Amino acid sequence: MGSTYMFIVVAAIAVIVGQLTLAKEFIIGDDKGWTTKFNYQAWAADKNFRVGDKLGKLSDILTFFKYKKGTHNVFKVDQSTFQQCAPPIEREALTSGNDVITLETPGTKWYLCGIGNHCEDGNQKLEITVFPQNLSPTSPLEGDTSISSARKNSDFKVLVFVLFSTLFVVFQ
């Protein structure tokens, strides 16, 4: 009975830890942050965004959309609004200067700054493609030599299986 309980506890911990390690955090613009006159499309080109990832970090030091409060904002918009660089009137902007967005669904996502002409003249806009959590993109990004998230996820599952099998045999 004790070994079964131990196995269940270890399995639950491994699943929780595994899920925490799968999501990534991205700081938009890296050390430049969310600002004007920066090529966000080039910045995003070599990144694989996945469901569960966060645009920003949940800490006081680093955040996804990092900027000085009052100088910029962030709107999540649709493709047409993105192309027009027209912030939506009916929607509130994120304005904290430390804005975190969790990527909850796959697909293309668009973000822009609605202050003055920051989007149109300052190129302060971002378009990304979010992939499902456990799938690789259909075509690898050019120059991307990193191991895909799906591969890392698969390797993690194998490791967890081996660990559980070993623990089960030891505590049997």
Instruction: State pLDDT tens for residues 2-43.
Output: 666 666 655 555 555 454 445 678 889 988 999 999 999 999
Report the amino acid identity of residue 172.
Answer: Q
Q: In the structure, what pLDDT confidence band is assigned to residue 58 with cuts at 50, 70 and 90?
A: very low
In a domain, 98, yes or no: yes
Determine the length of the chain. Answer: 172
Joined together, the tokens standing for residue 100 give 């975190």
- The rounded distance, in Å, linking the Cα atoms of 92 and 168 is 52
Looking at residue 41, what is its pLDDT?
93
134 occurs within a structural domain: yes
User: What is the residue-wise DSSP string for 38-78?
Assistant: --HHHHHHT--EETT-EES-SSSS--SEE--BTTB-BEEE-
**Domain presence at residue 166:** no
- 74 domain residue, yes or no: yes
pLDDT tens for each residue of 104-142: 899 999 999 999 999 999 999 999 999 997 644 444 444
**Vertex 78, ends 53 and 57: CA angle to 5°?**
25
Q: Is the dihedral of CA 29, 30, 35, 37 positive or negative?
A: negative
Beta-carbon contacts of 15 under 8 Å, excluding residues fewer than 6 positions away, are 160
In a domain, 13, yes or no: no
Residue 15 lies in a domain: no
The range of the structural domain enclosing residue 106 comes to 25-146
* Residue 92 in domain: yes
pLDDT digits (tens, 9 = 90+) for 77-113: 999 999 999 998 878 999 999 898 888 899 999 999 9
Q: What pLDDT does 77 receive? A: 96
**Residue at 111 is within a domain:** yes
Q: In CATH, what number is assigned to the domain containing residue 30?
A: 2.60.40.420
Into how many domains does the chain fold?
1
So what's the pLDDT on residue 51? 87
SS3 (DSSP) at 107: strand
